[in-house]
Amino acid sequence: MPEYLAALSRNEPDPALLTKLQAFKRGCLIVTAAIAVLALCGRFIPALSSTLPGGRQLMNVSTAIAFLLSAASLEFSEANHSRRMYWLSLVFAILMTLLGAAVLIGNAFEILSGVDFLISVDRGAAPLQKMLSTQIAAAITLLGFSTILIRAQKRLAVRIADVVIFALCLLVLMLVSEYVFSAISIFGQPAVYRASPPALLCLFLVTLVSLLRRSKDSVFSIFLGSGMSCRISRTLVPILFVLPFAREAARARLIGVLHLPGNYATAILASVATALSFFLLLLITWRVNRMEVEIRDLTLRDDLTGLYNLRGFYLLAEQALRLARRSQLPVSVLFIDLDNLKAVNDFFGHGTGSASLLETAELLKATFRETDVMGRIGGDEFAVVCLCSNTAMSIAAQRLEEASAIRNAQPGSRFPLSFSVGYITSEEHGHQSLKELLTEADKAMYKDKRRKKLNRD
């Protein structure tokens, strides 16, 4: 495929969306760093911990340091920073990876517990908290490794980074959903918090930033484009994320709390899932249909005037002609040619010439009905097809001339808007083609142009 065709075939990221995401990512990193700093202050200053939100649920020191390193590494790895800052971000990412790996090893072999508070859970931690620390340590290790590869360009490195990010997102999703289900006592039991809320929030934010950073150059780029598929995928993502968890939450509530029989719960959830799926299908179909209408308008309409272009005019006019014959109605064709457009362009500039074309289009829209087919079929040529008699078309042409005269009489008019008009009517049983009708209307227009020239002479 030629290079220019390949460039056209790619769905490039939406610049406006990237600008918004850049501000969003920076905000997430600021929040993460602020929470981590507050946690460190609370750990080293006991009197301060009682005044902070969460109190005893503050992150331990090793987790707070890991999130500070993560926030700094993600910020310094941005492309707009210097190469020195990029190398500093790599150092932070490596330290974060080593810290997470040290906690994993320590918890696996129980060789570091109670020895070094920087890489272990807090003293006196329950076994359940220690197990969770292992899960967070795994997430921190994956996060550090993904940050090391965040600006990878080689295909193998990119694929590895995508796999690591996917594994990290899956792990974080399990941790966050576990906390949410426990917090709302979904199984009818007292809430058991298996993780520190600030730690989960920081982990979620930095994971989200890492995912967004990789999205532009990875398989996730499908979500950032401005094309039809990208816009639909962005609509579906939140729905597809929420539905499975909502279904499981509803199932646990129906069976565990309300003691509803399993077959009833399954029937209810299956019916709701069917209704939601049907609604989702309607939503997708509606979006695709609206985009198809937009695409059709782009291909059938003239950019300057908003009227149909030559292709759109012929397509709609042929349909109007077939309808007229089927209903045995007369059809009239009006042909318009702007006078002296070249002179206007040469003397006043092409901007003024474009303005005259636009004004002519506005006069046509004001004179004819929305159901009539109006098009700009040439540089300075317009045509209208409507289901009306010759008398009605004659009246419409006269109104068009009067509207032009009113416009030219206005004080601010720099140049007269002048055009020649010709029209022809095919009677109820006529068999002329659209091309033949346009040719006859064109001939009538030239007669009007010659008449005007003779009157001036």
Which of 208, 224, 240 terminates a domain? The answer is 224
Residue 305 belongs to some domain of the structure: no
Do 196 and 136 belong to one domain? Answer: yes
Residue 128 has pLDDT above 60, yes or no: no
Residue 129 belongs to some domain of the structure: yes
Q: What is the 3-state secondary structure (H, E, C) of the chain?
A: CCHHHHHHHCCCECHHHHHHHHHHHHHHHHHHHHHHHHHHHHHHCHHHHCCCCCHHHCCCHHHHHHHHHHHHHHHHCCCCCCHHHHHHHHHHHHHHHHHHHHHHHHHHHCCCCCCCCCCCCCCCCCHHHHHHHHHHHHHHHHHHHHHHCCCCCCHHHHHHHHHHHHHHHHHHHHHHHHHHHHHCCCCCCCCCCCCCHHHHHHHHHHHHHHHHHHHCCCHHHHHCECCHHHHHHHHHHHHHHHHHHHHHHHHHHHHHHCCCCHHHHHHHHHHHHHHHHHHHHHHHHHHHHHHHHHHHHHHHECCCCCCECHHHHHHHHHHHHHHHHHHCCCEEEEEEEECCHHHHHHHHCHHHHHHHHHHHHHHHHHHCCCCCEEEECCCCEEEEEECCCHHHHHHHHHHHHHHHHHHHHCCCCCCCCCEEEEEEEECCCCCCCHHHHHHHHHHHHHHHHHHHHHHHC
Q: What is the CATH number of the domain that holds 373?
A: 3.30.70.270
Residue 4 belongs to some domain of the structure: no
The listed range with the strongest mean pLDDT (119-133, 285-299, 420-434) is 420-434
Better pLDDT: 194 or 245:
245
Do 75 and 182 belong to one domain? Answer: yes
Do 171 and 54 belong to one domain? Answer: yes
Do 242 and 284 belong to one domain? Answer: yes
pLDDT at 6: 39
Better pLDDT: 163 or 42:
163
Residue 442 belongs to some domain of the structure: yes
Which of 266, 300, 334 terminates a domain? The answer is 300
Do 152 and 245 belong to one domain? Answer: no
pLDDT digits (tens, 9 = 90+) for 212-230: 887 776 666 667 766 666 7
Do 58 and 195 belong to one domain? Answer: yes
Residue 9 has pLDDT above 80, yes or no: no
Do 276 and 342 belong to one domain? Answer: no
pLDDT at 130: 40
pLDDT digits (tens, 9 = 90+) for 255-285: 666 666 766 666 777 777 777 777 777 777 7
Do 162 and 258 belong to one domain? Answer: no
Do 157 and 87 belong to one domain? Answer: yes
What residue numbers bound the domain in which 216 lies? 10-224
pLDDT at 411: 77
Do 211 and 259 belong to one domain? Answer: no
Residue 2 belongs to some domain of the structure: no
Per-residue confidence at 40, pLDDT binned at 50, 70, 90?
confident
Residue 175 belongs to some domain of the structure: yes
Do 411 and 273 belong to one domain? Answer: no
Residue 115 belongs to some domain of the structure: yes
Which of 205, 224, 243 terminates a domain? The answer is 224
Residue 392 belongs to some domain of the structure: yes
Residue 122 has pLDDT above 50, yes or no: no
Residue 4 has pLDDT above 50, yes or no: no
pLDDT digits (tens, 9 = 90+) for 340-376: 777 777 777 878 888 888 988 999 999 998 889 999 9
pLDDT digits (tens, 9 = 90+) for 67-77: 899 899 988 88
Domain count, the chain: 3
Do 281 and 348 belong to one domain? Answer: no
